[in-house]
Structure 1
């Protein structure tokens, strides 16, 4: 069992930052847990785990302000050791407008050294600690709940426990292989977006194979589905599965009956609302296509 402190106010978060500054702590290990359209609509930061080499901290994003999170995550003089920071950086950028700064991503260094696996595998590679079982269920857990179960807290903190040691080992290997400068250059860019954030419909399997017209229909149908999911605060897939959006874009339903065949739902009220939105979306797509001619 880890000994940790809960950071559930701006005062506590600022106190933590002040303690690190006064004790010349300039590097911490960090990881996030989030909600990604599994239990409610949208993507949400649910937990920030921190380890300063001695003490563990859990920052509750629901109990601190975005401004306080920004002071932590954008602190230029506080290096944050992470594993695969891309999705975490994207999450806080979209939700709070926060740009992660001063990140050292051990995954980038590991990749330059030829490793392509996950964090558990990297721990096993560097520290010879066997990979744990059952991590998938923890990743799929509902991190929105409070209080968090002890099992989830243990899992969350285990992800930051070994990051200091892993960095030290990988940096030594990179130095031996003459890769230190390449690592340093890569770390400067690692938390930055690789390009514009893609809208959700462009991430669907099969999007790249759609014609221009089909892509327009998909955009409108996707946004109609998400509008209802957001209103109901449920994962989008519980309103309509992704594959049906692609099917509708390829073969646009002719009438309400055809839409209803694809939009069947156990809850008739949800089905009725979805069909109505999809029919309006079809008209919107037709108008957009007409303006493109």
Structure 2
């Protein structure tokens, strides 16, 4: 007798693609990369910045108190010059934008950057080819922090002006001035994020940021015309704290926004290259 081999009949409705093949090939995965919105949301959840907003509000309030007292002390002189909102803003925003905002927002970014090194997250994301998505999420989160920080600063100015009885129409130019301010904060965040890729500890990042901030203060005080050439002077430059007469100037707003956007683009490219090397 001879043995005969039989094969199982094909099931009705089964497609050829679903049948196993002799080559053992697997279908390509249909799982895509996380969306930009999901990446930004994830970065926001990772950020341990609950302390940031109360601290920012407090330090901005201290600045507004200084602006209030300065306006009250020289109210007659400011009235003769037709200054109200800009008189308060010049004093209130100077120290805030020179020291408080750069150090506070820099501390948030430094915390996140040091945590990425502790968990070797860049290497893990690179292994899964997700470092680009992770970078986009960080950029989105930093942009959100920059916009909200600007709104906190402007909201406290609005409250101060209302309490002083200023005409609300005078606040409108500050809404346009908020565009370069937010862009300047974003540029500083990118600078700190770049430092955070090249340095591994929170202490080292903050030490470098402190030195850069003090250097920015020196540039702002001693050579304000060179403020556009130094990244840690950008927030004060964008705020027009030392030039209250140019607060409502659209030419000044557009020029300052372009300068800050150029710095932001520069640090974004540097950040991307540093991530590639680390990953």
TM > 0.5 fold call: no
Query: TM-score, normalised to structure 1's length?
Result: 0.23
Larger Rg: 2
Q: Which protein has the bigger helix share?
A: 2
Higher RCO, 1 or 2 (CA under 8 Å, sep at least 6)?
2
